[in-house]
Structure 1
Amino acid sequence: EGVNNFSGLGAQTPTAKKISTTNVSGFGYQTPTAKKTPIKPVEGVNNFSGLGAQTPTAKKISTTNVSGFGDQTPTQQKQELLGLSGVTVERFWEIINPVILMEERRKKEEERADFYQPSISILTPTWNSSLDWFVETVLSVLNQSIYDWEWCIVDDGSKQPEIRNVLAGLAEKESRIKVLFSEDNGGISAATNRALKMATGEFICLLDHDDTLAPTALENSLDKLAEGFDVVYSDEDKIDFDGLSYIESFFKPDWSPEYFRGVMYVGHLLCVRRKIALDVKGFNSQFDGVQDYEFMLRVSEKTNKIAHIYKHLYHWRKVKGSISGDVDAKAGIEVVQQAAVNAHLERIDLAAKAEPGLGRHRVNINPLPRKNYPLISLIIATPNISESLNQWLENFLSVSSYPKNEVILIGGNGTENLIQNPAVKVLSLSGKFNDSRAYNLGAKTAQGEYFVFVNTNLEVAVNDWQRHLLYYAEQSDIGAVGGFLVFPNGTVEHAGIVLGKLGKVNYVMRGFPTNHDGYAGSLVCAREVSAVSRDCLMVSRENFDLVGGFNEHFFSDYQDVDLCLKLRKKGKRIVFTPRSVLINHESEKHKQGNYDVVDYMLLLDQWQIDMDMGDQYYQWIMDN
């Protein structure tokens, strides 16, 4: 039942578009560049940069050569990279002392007290740290645009006297820097836990000893946290091997718990309410190598008040021998990642197992064998019932392995019933055929606990496609789940629906090869999306009734988008799963992109304001 390299698609055609990929981060993030086939009246989606106004509450200071990171544009200002090598202790202080002296002068001018309660504590473990890199880490902290921070550094048994020398000097010269020296090397989790115990701020954030913060990293984080969040994370990029350029920007979605189980996407910068960090007992040494990821899994079990900042606030240095520079640098890391997810699934009582995914540092969530099988109603609407439909139904059901189905088929008024299968219930819709009315009629007649709306162009590519849909549909906070629809030539047709400003609607990554990772694992891991297609959509009877079913004012199109948005308004997540694969032998209408204009205008009338806020699970780079 492996997916994306499945045989049901047949031979890959020579004309299928290939993708050149660029590694964008240590977790194998890849930037797809495939050519897409447009769908819906307007193609493309605008990226949006904000989630509402931010309430600045952090104490700010005037700074020199430090400015806001701003939106994601070529004119962003960041700390100038030095690209140093061979930095001695003397050279270190030549660079750092003027910055500390300048801060002392500002403190006197502003009559700031030497002692105050910091708002945020930075946690950094060090171990034989290179001064070439650490000097820039120090500069990035000292040049923060707010002053009410503290920096808790734990040296984890360094044998190199240079780093111990400068750490002791920093603690002596800057009262906001606390340093603790360990005699033995206990590992990164143990050292971070000791730093956590030193912290006094309301929030903590994590900074590695060779990385840097954007000048407004702490200010932006505190502003967002002040809106009532317990956790915030930001976009990030990397510092190249030469230490002279910022490269490989990584754009993240808003909090997506399902996606996070498959991809370690949160990364840096991560800021967490200190009480929650203590409540989850900090970091677990058993998961060194993915300790931040495993920590965030446990944090997410305590709170869902998690926000994303659309700014590159963290710069991850590419280092040889590190995942930042080589995704294969740490052997066995994927085994530890899977173990972290399996422990998480067990704690939250989800009946699934984390297994190796398709791609580096990817996790496949595989539902465990079932003991009971709720009835699933396959609801199919078509104006005309033909003899070929009888054969299609027989093939469709014979390939599907789920043992407990019923089929509700809704045809147009006066359509002759040519279906000979007694297991299929055939209904007739009076008046002009309306897909939404037909689906609602089918749902009222259906006996199943779960509905799957499918179209008659589909061919089953993996026989357990319903099992993967049902795993998500059974979860109480998921409203609807959609399958992975592919074209016969081996390219993507549907992997989730994207909504954007000015009423833009599109199928994300349409036209990509099906064996591609997508952007940051988005084609090989289940993830949250704004909407999924009714061509293969599962929803529980309870959730369908909760929002009143399909809006019957939509005749042909967009009732799926409307249904998903109504479910999201009720606090439900919409999920796309790449494990439920079907081939879509698309109709001529879809090839031509002919969609009902009246339905489209109704969608805008209902949801224009929400769509103008942008798509929280989409970044423009996913389709570029």
Structure 2
Amino acid sequence: MDQEQMDYKKLYEAEREKTEVLVSKIEESEKEIEELNFKLDRIKGSFAWKLAIPLRKGLHFYEKTRDRLTRYGSIPGIMRKVRSKLQERKNMKRHGTASFPSPEEAKAQRETVFPRMIKFSILTPLYNTPEKFLTELLDCVQAQTYRNWELCLADGSDSEHAYVGEICKKYAEKDPRIKYQVLEHNEGISGNTNECLKMATGDYIALLDHDDILHPAVLYEYARVINEKNADYIYCDEITFEGDSIDHMIVLHFKPDFAIDNLRGNNYICHFSAFSRHLLDETGVFRSQYDGSQDHDMILRLTTKAKLVYHVPKALYYWRSHKASVAQDINAKTYAVDAAKRAVHDHIMDVYGMDAKVESTRAFPTIFRIRYPLLERPLISIVIPNKDHMEDLSRCVESIVNKSTYENYEIVIVENNSETKEIFDYYKALEHNPKIRIVRYEGEFNYAKINNFGVSFTNGKYVLLLNNDMKIITRDWMEELLMYAQRPDVAAVGGKLYYADNTIQHAGIVIGLGAHRAAGHTHYKDDKMHLGYMGRLCYAQDVTAVTGACLLVSRAQYDEVGGLDEEFRVAFNDVDFCLKLRHAGYLNVFTPFAELYHYESKTRGMEEGEKQKRFQQEVDLFRNKWKADLDAGDPYFNPNFSLDYSDYTIK
């Protein structure tokens, strides 16, 4: 080792020690923040804080108005936003009573004879159910246009709510499809549901809470799906409402098609589940140790075993929000949070044998961050294409070296026809770092070909494609990506990327989204702290594609699908790559817990001339190659959302 190398090593070690000191200070500050937040929560629970609510509301209104003026630039800007929201409210209403079948449609549905006239057993455990809720529940089941059902009611109500039994008996006397049983003891949610199950004689089991309402055509829709698709597990979209009418909507929850990582991070399926009796016999009954989240536990077990989980993209279930319901306040049933964490943990242990940590997130107590343990710490090869842009590249590389807690990595910089002296001086400086290599690609610019070339020089078990204009935020970003990529069912994993102004650049890609109907980013330009639609910016989830600006995948999978398609010289090569992986049978995952800055210009506007012509050619190529997928729609983006917007605007 010569003197220059020794000096560099000493300098490196000194800088590393400084970094460790700074990291330690940051961690201490984070602990202080947690303590202050705890104290703040205590203050918020005090009488004085509650007394000042009116004043704070006035101040918040002022601040929001000021912020909106800043964001939208003017009163007309705000008015455009208001008009958009009013239009969305109008669109929402068509999913309430306006969506009910007309008398003619209802008659046609009642008279439909399917090849398999499935019998549905609807299970509803009762416990001190308010009279209005109970009668509305009984009425909505009797109003079903599909007639082959039975309603199994197990009543664990106390003596002060004797009217529950009286009402149910009156309905049962008039309609033999309603089965009612008084329980000697209240066995809890799971125990009472299992008592309902003992009464059931149907081919399919469906779960209905005692204070909710069904769309009159839901069983018809499910019977049709079972006959057409042979689905053994079905669910639909749902609406949360309050007050006396389902049209008083609070939330419209339009769900993705089956997505196991979404389900682990958040019980998005929730209502209205129906599943084959044979499937239930295979997985077992409700388990009382998960009371409060017994449905989450059951859904995880059933969908794991199901041959076909089918999502009906229609709002066919109405979840009532009232004082004691989870729909209004999870604190009404805090035990449900712990039960849900146990259910997710135990499910992951059963499937992968991994002792994962399940933690509540800032979005909601039952929206979870899952920390999978790393089974190994393999070499990760980071491939960074570069032409000039010394400032971007140096910022990127130095953030990796100084910030990353994962140490087993190499960086392969693919030099592509740079011209400036400063970049070559920087390359020379990097030669002293044994983790970094520069390889030279001398052909014309082709992003896919450059990356494939760089990957051919890697030694790692995993390949991490990274743009040169990135800066690491999360210290354990590689661990967060790897914990998903290591799973045998996962291929590409991408992180959450921000512009320099802390707005979102990438949080997953939807095919068909955007003006060209090719592919686009969801939650684009939303604020960094935004929770996302139904909390989706707060948990890892399955997506059709992630951006190649930060994409981790195993080298074996990269080679299996032939790497990036070099016909896509600039655009869509990453989306195309992810679609190839999906068609090979793998999941692609977006995680919000690997955060990076992406200094790509968000104000560069439309490309013009030859660049615009090339872009359109690649749009056409992508749309032709993946026509079937585009026609079918992105499975993780509900068809009730407009493809013109990235913020889950209802059509």
TM-score when normalising by structure 2? 0.77
Q: What's the secondary structure of 2:153's corresponding residue?
A: strand
Question: Which residue of the partner structure matches residue 488 of structure 1?
Answer: 500
Question: Which residue of the partner structure matches residue 229 of structure 1?
Answer: 231
Contact 1:232 1:307 in 2 (8 A): yes
Distance 1:576 1:17 in 2: 34
Distance 1:477 1:15 in 2: 44
Question: Which residue of the partner structure matches residue 577 of structure 2?
Answer: 563
Give CA-to-partner distance per residue, 1:201-251, whole Å, 9 cap, x none: 111101112211111111111222231221111001133223463412211
Contact 1:236 1:315 in 2 (8 A): yes
- For CA contacts below 8 A with separation 6 or more, give which structure has more relative contact order: 1
1:78 equivalent to 2:81? Answer no
Distance 1:575 1:213 in 2: 33
Give CA-to-partner distance per residue, 1:270-306, whole Å, 9 cap, x none: 1111122232222111222111112111212222521
Task: State the 1:519 CA deviation.
Answer: 0.8
Question: Which residue of the partner structure matches residue 151 of structure 2?
Answer: 151
Q: What's the secondary structure of 1:592's corresponding residue?
A: coil
Question: Which residue of the partner structure matches residue 430 of structure 1?
Answer: 442
Distance 2:299 2:554 in 1: 30
1:256 equivalent to 2:275? Answer no
Contact 1:414 1:428 in 2 (8 A): no
Give CA-to-partner distance per residue, 1:397-444, whole Å, 9 cap, x none: 221111111111111247655443343222211321211111111112
User: 1:443-522 maps to which residues of 2 (within 5 A)?
Assistant: 443-500=455-512, 503-522=517-536
Question: Which residue of the partner structure matches residue 313 of structure 1?
Answer: 316
Instruction: Select the residue among 605, 616, 619 that pairs with 1:592.
Output: 605
Distance 1:19 1:150 in 2: 52
Distance 1:566 1:17 in 2: 47
Task: State the 1:503 CA deviation.
Answer: 2.3
Question: Which residue of the partner structure matches residue 176 of structure 1?
Answer: 177
Give CA-to-partner distance per residue, 1:99-121, whole Å, 9 cap, x none: xxxx9xx9xx99x9xxx986211
1:329 equivalent to 2:332? Answer yes
Task: State the 1:388 CA deviation.
Answer: 6.5
Contact 2:508 2:590 in 1 (8 A): yes
Distance 2:215 2:146 in 1: 12
Distance 1:268 1:371 in 2: 35
Question: Which residue of the partner structure matches residue 193 of structure 2?
Answer: 192
Structure in which a larger fraction of residues adopt helix: 2
Give CA-to-partner distance per residue, 1:461-514, whole Å, 9 cap, x none: 011000011111111111211111012222211000111276242110011122
Question: Which residue of the partner structure matches residue 623 of structure 1?
Answer: 648
User: 1:232-381 maps to which residues of 2 (within 5 A)?
Assistant: 232-243=234-245, 245-247=247-249, 248-303=251-306, 305-348=308-351, 349-360=353-364, 361-368=366-373, 370=374, 372-381=376-385
Comparing 538-547 with 343-352, greater Cα deviation is found at: 343-352
Distance 1:397 1:548 in 2: 30
Q: What's the secondary structure of 1:76's corresponding residue?
A: helix
User: 1:191-210 maps to which residues of 2 (within 5 A)?
Assistant: 191-210=192-211
Question: Which residue of the partner structure matches residue 556 of structure 2?
Answer: 542
Distance 1:605 1:162 in 2: 63
Distance 2:172 2:145 in 1: 20
RMSD of aligned residue pairs (Cα, Å): 3.4
Comparing 357-366 with 525-534, greater Cα deviation is found at: 357-366
Question: Which residue of the partner structure matches residue 55 of structure 2?
Answer: none
Distance 2:169 2:536 in 1: 45
Contact 2:564 2:574 in 1 (8 A): yes
Closer, same or farther in 2 for the Cα pair 1:613/1:71, shift >3 Å?
farther
Closer, same or farther in 2 for the Cα pair 1:291/1:506, shift >3 Å?
same
Q: What's the secondary structure of 2:332's corresponding residue?
A: coil
Distance 1:71 1:246 in 2: 9
- Give the unaligned 5+ runs of structure 2: 1-22, 32-62, 70-77, 82-87
Give CA-to-partner distance per residue, 1:57-109, whole Å, 9 cap, x none: xxxxxxxxxxxxx99667833399xxxxxxxxxxxxxxxxxxxxxx9xx9xx9
Contact 2:500 2:599 in 1 (8 A): yes
TM-score when normalising by structure 1? 0.80
User: 1:13-32 maps to which residues of 2 (within 5 A)?
Assistant: none
Distance 1:17 1:522 in 2: 27
Q: What's the secondary structure of 1:188's corresponding residue?
A: helix
Distance 1:474 1:593 in 2: 38
Question: Which residue of the partner structure matches residue 129 of structure 2?
Answer: 129
Closer, same or farther in 2 for the Cα pair 1:569/1:458, shift >3 Å?
same
Q: Percent identity?
A: 32
Question: Which residue of the partner structure matches residue 401 of structure 2?
Answer: 397
Contact 1:79 1:214 in 2 (8 A): no
Q: Residue type of the partner of 1:603? A: F
Comparing 545-554 with 284-293, greater Cα deviation is found at: 284-293
Contact 2:265 2:370 in 1 (8 A): yes
Contact 1:526 1:578 in 2 (8 A): yes
Distance 1:303 1:591 in 2: 47
Distance 1:541 1:155 in 2: 57
